[in-house]
Amino acid sequence: AAGSCFCVLFEPKSARVAPSEGFTWLHAGVVELIYTFMLCFVVNNCAGSKRNNEQDDGNQFFGLAIGFVIIAGGYAAGGVSGAAFNPAVALGLNFTSGDIHWGLLWALCEILGADLAAAAYILVRPEDYGDGDLTPYEPSLPVKLLSEFLGAFMLVLTVGLNVVTGSSQTAWSAAAALMCMIYSLGDVSGAHFNPAVTVAVFARGKCSKQQLISYIPVQLLAGVAAGVLYSVFHRVGPEKNNAHSLQPGNKHTMPHAVIAEFVYTFVLCYVVLACATISKPASQLTKQNYYFGLAIASCVTAGGFAIGGVSGGELNPAVSTGIAVASSMYTPKGATMIGSNGVNLLLLGVWEIAGGLLASLIFRVTHAQEFGQATPPGMVQKCACEFLGVFVLVFTVVCQSLSGAAFGATSIACSLMVMIYATGPISGGHLNPAVSFALALSEKMKWSEVPVYWITQLMAGILAGFMACSLFTDTVDVAPKDTYSGWHAYLAETLYTFMLCFVVLNAAGSKRNNSPTDGNNFFALAIGFVIIAGGNAVGGVSGAAFNPAVALGLDFSSHEKGVGNGFLWALFELVGAAIAAAIYRNVRPEDYGNQTDFDTYKPAWHTKLVSEFLGVFFLVLTVGLNLCNGSAVTAWSAAAALMCMIYSLGDVSGAHFNPAVTLACMASGRDLINTFDGLAYMVVQVLAGVIAGCLYSVFHRSSLKETSPITLTPGDGFSIYQAGMAEFAATALLAYIVLSCATVAHAGSQKTKNSFYFALCIGSCVTAGGFAVGSVSGGELNPAVAAGIATASNVFQPGGLPAPMTSFVQLGLYELAGGLLGAVAFHATHAKQYVDV
């Protein structure tokens, strides 16, 4: 049905699955089998396991783990088979193209992969098939070893297939594979999948000697097996004439490579220890936290992108082994390399293991309470955490900026997120003088601690700046970018530092949104993704520091280019922090009242409207600034902005931030919102879009795209009808997900009132819809966004011709209709919600 609709709307365009150029049906069938195996295996372990998803204390990461299999396999196998991993996808695409035989073959391989996944699940989860009590169950050593083999094999294979098919997203894909397998097998073997991690966990005291000496050979064997397999694809793939050996990157030496691997393997192992091996805090009511797999895997995203051009970004002796084996199996004739595979493997492996050992030592300092210290963390521990977190952040900023790798803002965001998750329980995970300032202004931090935090953060930033620059032949200065003036940069830093501090206050500091007796699991995810929103939006304006420690660290380490702008950046960042603290008091007055008021608190009408205004304003501003700066990831950046603000303000106004969503909530009934409030929301949402549009038009005038119009029109080759139907379908999905994930009881454990995934799901609709229909309609999915773009195109239009508002009205109506369809679909699928209404 979906394939037929696609063909009706976009005829004569078609999509089909078939082997990519250079590959045979056998290559394609193998990757379809393997990644369908992975998909079904993750489904079984994350959603079906009696221990990993208990009936009375279920997890909330199952959807995240399952969905990210597609990121892992999509990039790894997309260049081989098209990456269907689903008979419905394969047959749907090929049925409409009239070339059904490939779809049938794909479906056969996928079904075989599912059968193998079921068999593997039975082997790793024998407890699901017994009658005994699951509480004392401990997996046997053979089961643990099988778990370690499967996890390491899928990780190394994903890395290798990305490399030999020429993917630019290897780190992202590998991190997704790692995350999925960690969530699937964490309660089986600990999900190390990495000799350096095993050494770190052993040194920390959470791994037996028997596991140490058995895990590592199995992990290395898995790396060897995966390397042998992906070398077969290298021989015939698009990279068959390029060598992919284990060696330093272009213009880098082996000392550079080993230092880079040491630093990020340390980060990876430290995050494993801090997120997956600590005692359950008092604020955690569930059996397990939901972020451990996300945090660990995000280290690979951060490090892989940041130092991939320096060392390859393996961070894992098993991955290094796989690459060395594969390049020994196949290397194009005439290829040369620095050193040899064996020597380079030894050097990198030793330093990766050393990174793991250092992580265990630093963990003992920062998390002394895990080793019997009864007193709360002292200032030494807090400063150690702040120093470590800022160091990793600034080191990543410099490496990412100088390497020029793809997904730069995402890499930096991941480094911030993982260090907040790792250090938050000890120091609060500020990692930013502006954040500390905002917290103090909001009475969330003692003023006496601020100078100590600031000194520690600034010292770490400056040291990291110099150390990272030593790996390159250039430095990163602080200055307005391209055609922008200083005031554009100051405004950009103020706005997005405000957003960062505001999200910190709401997601981590709020007494209701992050209760000390029932804390949320999304605080660092929300904070980190501000960098994705702002980094892509204004990275081309100011460099997107949003942090005095980053600004001054870059400024001092690039002293030969001049020092001074870092102080100006820091000043405006502190201004943004102060404004955030002031507005926080407006939207969270319950934090400053007595306990009686707090227990019965309901946000006032004007507070809800302020909340809706802020959310829409930053969403539309982020969209517009991405467009002004020619970003290729507007949908990703906009989704991040939406997600952050929903996590921050969901318990204030419901965080609709979209007239179509508000209409869907009104239409769905259940007293979610009355008609008067709904209409008020819509007016404020459109007003926020208009104001954001006026503001970003100021940046458009000075951007490199100042001669290019940014209008609300269908994409090239598409009609307004096709654009409208695309908006209708994508907005319907968005509205349906909002109703299903944010207005009903969350899935998983009911021991906590907090949902880990609701804003992630909603933001992901914008990612999916924005990329899928962006070239058709613009992918707004929101009348307020459409209003902002239409307004901006009238405030500033290259050539002086005003843009007609017709498209805004037409697309807005399609989007509102989509919201109504979402409500109808919700009513049909969630009939139980209406039983007592």
- pLDDT digits over 412-471, tens only? 999 999 999 999 999 999 999 999 999 999 999 999 999 999 999 999 999 999 999 999
| Residues paired with residue 515 on neighbouring β-strands, in sequence order | 518
Angstrom distance (rounded) from CA 57 to CA 477: 50
Residue 836 confidence (pLDDT) above 80: no
Residue 545 confidence (pLDDT) above 60: yes
How far is residue 526 from each of residues 462, 639, 717, measured CA to CA in Å?
Answer: 26, 11, 37
Q: How confident is the model at residue 758 (pLDDT cuts 50, 70, 90)?
A: very high
Residue 12 confidence (pLDDT) above 80: no
| Residues paired with residue 518 on neighbouring β-strands, in sequence order | 515
Which amino acid, 428? G
**Whole-number average pLDDT of the chain:** 93
Share of the chain above pLDDT 70, in %: 96
Tens digit of each residue's pLDDT (9 = 90 or more) over 189-248: 999 999 999 999 999 999 999 999 999 999 999 999 999 999 999 999 999 999 899 999
Is the torsion defined by CA of 673, 675, 678, 680 positive or negative? negative
Contact criterion met (CB below 8 Å) for 312 and 249: yes
Q: How confident is the model at residue 340 (pLDDT cuts 50, 70, 90)?
A: confident
Share of the chain above pLDDT 90, in %: 81
Least confident of 53-57, 116-120, 298-302: 53-57
Angstrom distance (rounded) from CA 388 to CA 399: 16
Question: Is residue 273 left, alpha or beta, with left meaning phi > 0 and alpha meaning psi from -120 to 50?
Answer: alpha
Q: How confident is the model at residue 749 (pLDDT cuts 50, 70, 90)?
A: confident
Residue 694 confidence (pLDDT) above 90: yes
Residue 490 confidence (pLDDT) above 70: yes
What's the pLDDT score for residue 346?
Answer: 95
What's the pLDDT score for residue 413?
Answer: 97
Tell me the mean pLDDT in the region 602-622.
Answer: 96
Q: How confident is the model at residue 747 (pLDDT cuts 50, 70, 90)?
A: confident
What's the pLDDT score for residue 594?
Answer: 75
Q: How confident is the model at residue 524 (pLDDT cuts 50, 70, 90)?
A: very high
Angstrom distance (rounded) from CA 202 to CA 58: 29
Angstrom distance (rounded) from CA 567 to CA 15: 53
Q: How confident is the model at residue 250 (pLDDT cuts 50, 70, 90)?
A: confident
End-to-end CA distance of the chain: 33
Residue 714 confidence (pLDDT) above 70: yes
What's the pLDDT score for residue 817?
Answer: 97
What's the pLDDT score for residue 17?
Answer: 78
Tens digit of each residue's pLDDT (9 = 90 or more) over 206-222: 999 999 999 999 999 99
Tens digit of each residue's pLDDT (9 = 90 or more) over 762-793: 999 999 999 999 999 999 999 999 999 999 99
What's the pLDDT score for residue 8?
Answer: 61
Encoding tokens for residue 281? 């805090």
What's the pLDDT score for residue 480?
Answer: 95
| Matching residue, tokens 């991941």 | 414
Q: Is the peptide bond before 659 cis (omega within 30 degrees of 0)?
A: no
Residue 567 confidence (pLDDT) above 60: yes
Q: How confident is the model at residue 96 (pLDDT cuts 50, 70, 90)?
A: low
What's the pLDDT score for residue 251?
Answer: 87
What's the pLDDT score for residue 708?
Answer: 87
Written as one string, the DSSP assignment of 668-726 is T-TTSS-HHHHHHHHHHHHHHHHHHHHHHHHHHHHSTTTTS---S-PPTT--HHHHHHH
Contact criterion met (CB below 8 Å) for 558 and 477: yes
Which amino acid, 356? G
